Amino acid sequence: EIVLTQSPGTLSLSPGERATLSCRASQSVSSSFLAWYQQKPGQAPRLLIYGASTRATGIPDRFTGSGSGADFTLTINSLEPEDFAVYYCQQYGSSQPITFGQGTRLEIK
Q: Are strands 104-108 and 10-13 parallel, antiparallel or unpaired?
A: parallel
Write b or e for each residue in 68-87: b if 16 or more Cβ atoms lie within 10 A of its Cβ, otherwise e: eeeebbbebbebeeebbbbb
* Spatial separation of the C-alpha atoms in residues 77 and 64, rounded to whole Å: 8
Binding another protein (rule: CB under 8 A), the pick from 11, 24, 37, 38 is 37
Q: Does 106 bind another protein (CB under 8 A)?
A: no
Residue span binding another protein (CB under 8 A) among the ranges 13-21, 36-44, 63-71, 73-81: 36-44
Q: Residues 44-73 vs another protein: string with x where CB under 8 A?
A: xxxx--xx----x-----------------
Binding another protein (rule: CB under 8 A), the pick from 10, 66, 98, 108 is 98
* Spatial separation of the C-alpha atoms in residues 109 and 107, rounded to whole Å: 6
User: Which residue lies nearer to another protein by CB, 17 or 92?
Assistant: 92
Binding another protein (rule: CB under 8 A), the pick from 19, 38, 79, 101 is 101
